[in-house]
A and B are shown apart, each in its own frame.
Chain A
Amino acid sequence: GESVGLHLPTLSVQEGDNSIINCAYSNSASDYFIWYKQESGKGPQFIIDIRSNMDKRQGQRVTVLLNKTVKHLSLQIAATQPGDSAVYFCAENTNDYKLSFGAGTTVTVRA
Chain B
Amino acid sequence: DTGVSQDPRHKITKRGQNVTFRCDPISEHNRLYWYRQTLGQGPEFLTYFQNEAQLEKSRLLSDRFSAERPKGSFSTLEIQRTEQGDSAMYLCASSTETNTEAFFGQGTRLTVV
Interface residues of A (CB under 8 A from B): 32, 34, 36, 41-46, 49, 89, 91, 93, 95-104
- A101 B104 Cβ-Cβ under 8 A: no
- B100 A42 Cβ-Cβ under 8 A: no
- B31 A97 Cβ-Cβ under 8 A: yes
In whole angstroms, how far apart are the Cα atoms of A96 and B107 in the complex? 23
* Pairs A-B, 7 closest by C-beta atoms: A101-B42, A43-B104, A44-B104, A43-B106, A43-B107, A98-B45, A89-B42
* Nearest CB in chain B: distance from A6 CB, A: 9
Q: Is residue B103 within 8 Å, beta carbon to beta carbon, of the partner chain?
A: yes
- B33 A97 Cβ-Cβ under 8 A: yes
- B100 A93 Cβ-Cβ under 8 A: yes
List 5 contacting pairs A-B, 8 Å CB cutoff, sorted by A: A32-B100, A34-B101, A36-B104, A42-B106, A99-B33
* Nearest CB in chain B: distance from A59 CB, A: 13
* Nearest CB in chain B: distance from A107 CB, A: 15
* Chain A interface helix/strand/loop/mixed: strand
20 extra interchain contacts, Cβ-Cβ under 8 A, other than A89-B43, A101-B42?
A43-B6, A43-B105, A43-B107, A44-B91, A46-B102, A89-B42, A97-B48, A97-B50, A97-B56, A98-B56, A99-B33, A99-B43, A99-B93, A99-B102, A100-B45, A101-B43, A102-B42, A103-B40, A103-B41, A104-B42
Enumerate chain B residues within 8 angstroms of A49, measured Cβ to Cβ: 101
Enumerate chain A residues within 8 angstroms of B40, measured Cβ to Cβ: 103-104
In whole angstroms, how far apart are the Cα atoms of A102 and B95 in the complex? 20
Across the interface, B42 reaches (CB within 8 A) one of A43, A91, A95, namely A91
In whole angstroms, how far apart are the Cα atoms of A99 and B92 in the complex? 12
Please give me the residue from chain B that is nearest to A43 by CB atom: B104
Enumerate chain B residues within 8 angstroms of A95, measured Cβ to Cβ: 56
In whole angstroms, how far apart are the Cα atoms of A95 and B107 in the complex? 24
